[in-house]
Amino acid sequence: MASRNVLITAASRRVPLVQAFKRAVTSLAGGQVIVTDVNPLSPAVYAADRAYRVPLASDPSYIDEIHTICESEDVRLVVPTIDDELVAFGRAAADFKAAGIRVAVSSAETSAVCNDKYLTCRTLLEKGIAAASSFLPGEVPADCAYPLFIKPRFGRGSVGAFPVRSARELAFFIEYVADPVIQTYLDGPEFTIDMLCDFSGRPLSIVPRERVVIRAGVMDRGRTVKDSRLTDLALSCARAFSFVGAVNIQCRIVDERPVIFEINPRFSGGIPLTIEAGADFAQMLMQLALGRRVAPAIGRFRENVWMTSYEASLFLEDARIKLDPYSPIGSVEEIA
């Protein structure tokens, strides 16, 4: 029987994503979910079937370490989860495929553009897609209208993001925020559009979600919506970029028109709501990795499904925790 094992990288707090893939592989008559992380205290380590401690994604040996784990665990599908590793996995995807392992990652070129919030919006505007006007510090027009919005050009989780209400504040935050990008302030309801594309870039599912309450950059409370404007916007992005796997598009509706301010070609923090509403991205990805055809199911999800989140904790005995450093390549260490 062909392997149905899945590897989720940088699993961290992504327990719902691990659980979704465990349901997917179970429904396909077998398979296990393995995760990697730099920290053996990450909760997803204890939600998976097995876990390995690996170096940071910036380490030159990182991709080789992941490949070693895939071979030892007979992995069929790799699911990268953080911006830092997407370009490297995009470059290595063909090598993984040659070894019978599919990586749910967009091309290195697409990931590089999307990791750069300035370049993302500039590229979208050049292609005629509504996006926030974006400037580097030396490009802000002298007669610009306030408020503006400033954030790191490369970053995630809304860390270092601030509204800017005056030229004095702009001067301060340009110095305060590392490598900043300045955008027009978008004042309107905020949405994330979850989209799944197959390995040829064809969109299979699109689920818009209203972000009603946001905490630490992740939706804390929100609902699914059916809005053709948001669906059409996602389809336009799929034509403009080469997406593979999960992607989330962040936008606000301003004057009845959705305007993008960020694209992340990976699973979103709010993906549990999308899956609960009937768009099971994990199941579809696993089917694709097994070489099966998955028909597009755009618009097939339940509308007005709400998610309201809360914290949960795991309690571990000392004997279950290994704090030793990760092992050199070829002898990666199982930590749970």
* pLDDT tens for each residue of the chain, 336 residues long: 567 899 999 999 999 999 999 999 998 878 999 999 998 889 999 999 999 999 999 999 999 999 999 999 999 999 999 999 999 999 999 999 999 999 999 999 999 999 999 999 999 999 999 999 999 999 999 899 999 999 999 977 667 899 999 999 999 999 999 999 999 999 999 999 999 999 999 999 999 999 998 887 788 899 999 999 999 999 999 999 999 999 999 999 999 999 999 999 999 999 999 999 999 999 999 999 999 999 999 999 999 999 999 988 988 877 566 544 443 333 345 555
pLDDT at 319: 56
pLDDT at 220: 86
- The Cα–Cα gap between 22 and 33 comes to 6
Which residues make up the CATH 3.30.1490 domain(s) of the chain?
135-184
Residues in Cβ contact with 95 at an 8 Å cutoff, skipping those fewer than 6 apart = 67
pLDDT at 325: 43
pLDDT at 92: 98
CATH of domain 135-184: 3.30.1490
Q: How many CB atoms lie within 10 A of CB 300?
A: 13
Q: How many CB atoms lie within 10 A of CB 316?
A: 14
pLDDT at 336: 52
Residues in Cβ contact with 9 at an 8 Å cutoff, skipping those fewer than 6 apart = 35, 36, 54, 57, 66, 78, 79, 80, 81, 82, 85
- The Cα–Cα gap between 186 and 261 comes to 8
CATH of domain 187-308: 3.30.470.20
Sign of the CA dihedral running 277, 209, 207, 157: negative
Query: And the tokens for 48?
Result: 């998976």
Query: And the tokens for 286?
Result: 């696993």
Which residues make up the CATH 3.30.470.20 domain(s) of the chain?
187-308
Q: Strand ranges (DSSP E) for the chain?
A: 5-8, 33-37, 50-53, 75-79, 102-103, 134-135, 148-152, 162-164, 180-184, 190-197, 203-215, 218-224, 245-254, 257-264, 306-308, 333-334
Which residues make up the CATH 3.40.50.20 domain(s) of the chain?
5-104+313-334
- Predicted structure pTM score: 0.92
- Structural class in CATH, domain 5-104+313-334: alpha beta
